[in-house]
Structure 1
């Protein structure tokens, strides 16, 4: 699928150059992916307000790309930063992945991807790289807009400006990750297009962004990154290509529950401007996740004992998180300190279940049945583990 109109992409790039004051050219493969994004954004957004929202997001991403490239040219030592060994939380939404990431990120001995860093990885002009400044103010405004304007999305995935969030947000800057359909353009044809693109470039680019963020924060200083996103489940080999000593943590929950939850989050994310029906959302959910889980299973078989991955039942993990986090740390070659445990327990106390709202969802709303989900994921062992398992 090629030959997209280039007008929107060219305009957006010109505006980003004018805003940033940086006149750099983007690679052809990136420009093609940007044109595709605008094509599907135009096609799937029925009103100008909705398109303007997506356009503003693209502008923010493009400006950050330019500022990052400019900093990299002036500070090539950024690429010397070591990001080889993160702890990476993978797995479906509603399987405890967000809470696990945020608990471990509360430990000051770990490197945290706070929401304000994800929305604008490049410092604002005139601000010190290590200080939140205007980036935190911007993130607080975004989080407040989601909380007040889209409570369903906030309940599904709370946005908290100064708390950890998914590194999938960094992949937005590539416009090439298959998970880019989450950006507000949940379109089956867009998904098909994204699957034609090579998968490694997005992970190479994000590894450099992590180096950039680490450099801004005074360098590694012994800290491992805590990364998390469901989209990584189909990208084990891509992750390991750029983070060769990664430790993966895979909380598991039954697919009937997590597919319904994913549909709920995807439906909430498209409000109020998009018009895809719940049934269409259900179809997109299966079209996305079934091939990704096939990739996951196949990569595990190829990697064998080169893959360090811990599987855990999400209920067991949430019932005794400190015990499991201590185990995750040990497998990653570090120890949970008393200071870290205290910080994690404080985060838990400050963030009780239901703090940001209660999610309600069902397969039926998306015209899916338990039998359809069971059949779709029948090639996997869908029974969650009851004990933490390590595959090394």
Structure 2
């Protein structure tokens, strides 16, 4: 449907974790889709997601309600993450998923963006690497250093998450996607 309404000039970028819930549906309609799945330490992901939802929802609450909203988000977001991880595991367990998905570690993207993007291009053979492309990336990275727009700070403690971070599911996820 999206393709018919607004065909992309190059490619689509779907950048929300919610897309992990529907990879099977996406590939049903777009079997040649190339999916880059960045993975990040969950003790960073979960409070970040809580903070994002707090910024979206806090406008609808009184200041006095914010502490309770943080507690609620600290209970709800891990449940959402659990479902997301289950869907990723289920999808990743199928041999056919290997050709469509390239898993990367977020820290690699931050510490070696050029090398990480080069590995993505090597994986998806239809993408063409060029010196011009690399030069443009290097220039963009110089002009847009991390933190240029400010830093987003959050913590496990802020959302009462300390006790929820020791799940076996999280250990399995990090072992599969984050161990080097």
Category of TM-score, reference length = shorter chain = 0.7 to 0.9
Give the count of matched residue pairs.
Answer: 171
Q: CA RMSD in A?
A: 2.1
Displacement of 1:328 in angstroms is 1.0
> Is this contact kept in 1: 2:42–2:170, CA < 8 A?
no
Residue equivalent to 2:16:
229
2:5 is aligned, of 202, 205, 212, to: 212
Displacement of 1:282 in angstroms is 0.8
* Moved beyond 4 Å, runs of 4+: none
Q: Does 1:319 align with 2:111?
A: yes
Cα distance in 2 for residues equivalent to 1:261 and 1:227: 19
- SS at 2:149's partner residue? coil
Residue equivalent to 2:34:
247
> Is this contact kept in 2: 1:249–1:311, CA < 8 A?
yes
Cα distance in 1 for residues equivalent to 2:115 and 2:5: 32
Higher helix share: 2
- Scaled by the length of structure 2, the TM-score of the pair is 0.83
The verdict on how the C-alpha distance between 1:272 and 1:381 changes in structure 2, with shifts beyond 3 A counting, is closer
- SS at 1:250's partner residue? strand
Larger Rg belongs to: 1
Higher relative contact order, chain-length normalized (CA < 8 Å, sep 6+): 2
> Is this contact kept in 1: 2:47–2:155, CA < 8 A?
yes
Displacement of 1:299 in angstroms is 2.1
The verdict on how the C-alpha distance between 1:360 and 1:337 changes in structure 2, with shifts beyond 3 A counting, is same
Cα distance in 2 for residues equivalent to 1:243 and 1:379: 32
- SS at 1:323's partner residue? helix
Cα distance in 1 for residues equivalent to 2:82 and 2:146: 29
Flag structure 1 segments of 5+ consecutive residues without an equivalent: 1-207, 387-392
Flag structure 2 segments of 5+ consecutive residues without an equivalent: none
Displacement of 1:210 in angstroms is 3.3
> Is this contact kept in 2: 1:251–1:314, CA < 8 A?
yes
2:57 is aligned, of 267, 270, 291, to: 270
